[in-house]
């Protein structure tokens, strides 16, 4: 049993080393798709406009993997200090996800999208309009203004969500989350160390 335990522990250690040393992500050899994703000025963004690296994050607020990876992404971005995030709301988990994405996009008009996005990712409550209103107001937003914007800009918001979905499918994403750093795509939840590896590979791929 002791020998078996040693073998299992050794195998786990080797697999962990291989995971950390194997190249992360895959290259997206589609310049047109990359340009459409990163040059879409309708998408909310945060981080230095002149950052050396752009990261497009395709996420859903009800996606467990997206929520699990969000703190790691935030920590990696803070640690790096030179990444601009392009947010790609892709609500594929049903009507509550779509409603949350609509409200989040509407909040961009008030300049609070990053704060609303973060709270939606970490809030454990079931999504409802009362919860969304609470999140918007705690981010410093005006809920009545959000509600009016959702009515007056309904077509534009839905067009943005459809565009995000089309871009995700162009990359070959079957679900969320998907993280595109430069021309390197990673699918699924990853930790801080792997986000940093993703950033490094994305930068080296441009050389």
User: Tens of pLDDT along 108-166?
Assistant: 999 999 999 999 999 999 999 999 999 999 999 999 999 999 999 999 999 999 999 99
Q: Tell me the three-class secondary structure of 131-194, residue by residue.
A: HHHHHHHHCCCCHHHHHHHHHHCHHHHHHHHHHHHHHHHHCCCCCCCEEEECCEEEECCCCHHH
CATH code given to domain 25-205:
3.40.30.10
Please state the pTM of the whole predicted model. 0.89
Q: For residue 174, what are its two tokens?
A: 């079957």
* Three-state secondary structure call for residue 127: coil
DSSP letter for 106, please.
Answer: H
pLDDT per residue over 34-80, tens digit each? 999 999 999 999 999 999 999 999 999 999 999 999 999 999 999 99
- Parse the chain into domains and list their residue ranges: 25-205
Contact yes or no for 176/94 (Cβ under 8 A): no
């Amino acid at each position: 049993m002791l020998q078996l335990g040693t073998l299992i522990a050794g195998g786990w250690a080797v697999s962990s080393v291989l995971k950390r040393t194997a190249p992360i992500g895959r290259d997206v050899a589609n310049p047109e798709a990359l340009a459409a994703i990163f040059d879409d000025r309708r998408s909310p963004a945060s981080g230095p406009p002149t950052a050396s690296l752009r990261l497009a994050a395709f996420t859903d607020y009800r996606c467990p993997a997206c929520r699990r990876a969000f703190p790691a992404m935030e920590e990696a971005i803070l640690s790096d200090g030179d990444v601009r995030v392009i947010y790609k709301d892709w609500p594929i988990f049903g009507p509550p996800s779509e409603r949350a994405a609509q409200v989040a996009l509407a909040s961009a008009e008030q300049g609070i999208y990053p704060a609303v996005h973060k709270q939606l990712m970490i809030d454990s409550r079931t999504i409802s309009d009362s919860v969304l209103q609470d999140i918007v107001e705690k981010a410093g937003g005006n809920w009545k203004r959000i509600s009016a914007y959702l009515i007056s800009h309904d077509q534009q918001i839905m067009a943005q969500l459809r565009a995000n979905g089309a871009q995700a499918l162009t990359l070959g994403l079957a679900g969320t989350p998907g993280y595109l750093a430069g021309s390197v795509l990673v699918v699924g939840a990853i930790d801080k160390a792997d986000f940093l590896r993703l950033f490094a590979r994305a930068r080296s791929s441009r050389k």
